[in-house]
Structure 1
Amino acid sequence: MLCALGASVCFGTATVLQAMAARVAGESGTDSGAAGAATLLLRALRQWRYLAGLALDGVGFLLQIAALRSLPIYAVGAALAASLAVTAVVASWLIHVRLSRVEWGAVAVVCVGLAMLGLASGTEGDRTGSLGLKYAMLGISVVVLLLGLVGGRLPDRGRALALGLGAGFGFGVVEVAVRLIEDLDPGSLLSNPATYALLVGGGAALLLLTTALQRGSVTTATAGLVIGETIGPALVGVIWLGDRTREGLTWLAVLGFAVAVAGALALARFGEAPGTETESDSDSASASAGPPQG
């Protein structure tokens, strides 16, 4: 569980550092189009914050793998969704994003939900997964990739949610695929469909998430992402891989999972940490009953 929480801290902090670096890089030029985007990335890569964010992403991924090898998928998925709470807290500290009382409450709710999961989670399931499940994960990853390739052509209505859900499914494939890789021998890796599912699913998820954040509501896309990467993989872990809870604490695990995911959804606007926030935006966020649209 410490590895899962560590991954959440790494991912959440990396988001803010990369947003800060992108803001500084954007102040150096106003180019538009693909050339402008490439130039912005090159400028960002010269910022120590951006490089630190990439390093934290790498450490977070390794911690995620370690967690998935010893914890049920539902616990790891909820912990990763909690990275939104980390982003919110770090953003309020480093770039002075004002959180409403509702959002501070959501941060507390996420912490309570994770505490429940920590108490109720058992060890990972003892099933290795059938060959059919491995090919199913590969098939889902290909579908997610195809959705990423045509994502920009989807109708405006519901596009952000569809792309966010697709990205969530892609990251969910990665979570399940890690559990389906039993042997790290090069020969076994190359012959295991789960290896390709992990690579294709992860790459497609990043493509979909980038498209969703560029062409739609950050809040809607991130909400879809949280739902897609938590619920589906959790069900696969319980039904096909034998994930269980501690004796008599199934109710606590279900409640903790629901509470943690609900809190993360309330913080969905932090799916892309804002670089700046105007006073009027902050006042609007504080007055609203829920998170504002990105």
Structure 2
Amino acid sequence: MVAALGAAVCFGVASVLQAMGARAAEPGSGSGVDTRLLARALAQRTYIAGLALDGLGFALELVALRSLPIYAVGAALAASLAVTAVAASRLLKAALSRVEWAAVGTVCGGLALLGLAAGGEGDGHGSTALRWGTLVAAGAVLLVGAAAGRLPGRARAAVLGLGAGLGFGVVEVAVRLVDGVTSPPIYALLLGGGAAFLLLTSALSRGSVTTATAGMVIGETIGPALVGVLALHDRTRPGWAPVAVAGFALAVVGALVLARFGEGGATGAEPATSGR
């Protein structure tokens, strides 16, 4: 759980740095799948710093996924939205209201309950259909990005963030399914992770940081948690299932409340002075 929370801190700060870099780069085509925007963002120092934090966060996430249920790791990663909100208030000069601070506390409280209730990871190895399904889902992430790129403003950021979350969710599941260097989950991990970064960069370049991150949190939390419980036999400590459900719900609800942090456009409208 310490590793999972460390990953959340890395991912939360990385999102703000990546937003700064994406906005400092030359505007892209507006497509949800814009590889040239990603290439230009990679020329920004703050974007590179964000990628470094993402790399550290991913390493910590791998540690967590090898010993905790997917639902526990996913809910812990929901704390990245709280970190994003706080980091945006400092780096992008946006103020947190009392409601947002209460939401931060809700996320943390939910995570505390999950930490108490979480058991070990399940002993399920996943069916052949699930292994190939992760690869199909990774490809679908690109289709979501292409469709979302046509949406206006806030809806575009939210749906692109959701698509990125689905891609990162594929990574979470694929890590548990990998059993060889040529297995479908390996390709799903690479494709899903790459597509997620592409969509997230497009979302952060024009939309609210917290709106995009909220969509990402939803996408990478709910679906993988269900797969973990239903297909990989993730369980809670005996008798602690209600506590786990309550903790999971609090973490996600807090993340959703924090999504309104960007309503005023403070994190999405202010130009960045340096790159990620």
Same fold (TM over 0.5): yes
Distance 2:152 2:87 in 1: 35
CA offsets 1:79-127 (integer angstroms, 9 cap, x no match):
1121011122233345542100000111111110000000000010011
**The structure with more radius of gyration:** 1
1:203 alignment partner, one of 171, 194, 199: 194
Amino acid at match of 1:77: G
- Tell me the TM-score normalized by structure 1: 0.77
Q: Does 1:16 align with 2:7?
A: no
Distance 1:51 1:136, change over 3 A: closer
Amino acid at match of 1:85: A
Distance 1:107 1:217, change over 3 A: closer
Contact 2:18 2:204 (C-alpha < 8 Å) held by counterparts? no
- Residue in 2 that maps onto 1:53: 50
Distance 2:148 2:88 in 1: 29
Q: Does 1:274 align with 2:267?
A: yes
CA offsets 1:228-279 (integer angstroms, 9 cap, x no match):
211111000001101000010000000000001111112225689938869x
Distance 1:17 1:129 in 2: 36
Amino acid at match of 1:86: V
1:263 alignment partner, one of 249, 254, 264: 254
Residue 161 (structure 1) shift: 4.4
Contact 1:218 1:269 (C-alpha < 8 Å) held by counterparts? no
Distance 1:273 1:245 in 2: 40
Residue 205 (structure 1) shift: 2.0
Q: Does 1:113 align with 2:110?
A: yes
Bigger mean CA offset, 170-179 vs 13-22: 13-22
- Residue in 1 that maps onto 2:2: 2
Amino acid at match of 1:209: L
Distance 1:179 1:208 in 2: 24
CA offsets 1:173-196 (integer angstroms, 9 cap, x no match):
1110000014xxxxx211x11111
Number of corresponding residues: 263
SS in 2 for 1:267: helix
The two structures, once aligned, show a CA RMSD in angstroms of 3.1
% same residue? 66
Amino acid at match of 1:12: G
Structure with greater contact order relative to length (CA < 8 Å, sep ≥ 6)? 2
Residue 152 (structure 1) shift: 2.6
- Tell me the TM-score normalized by structure 2: 0.82
2:181 alignment partner, one of 172, 184, 189: 189
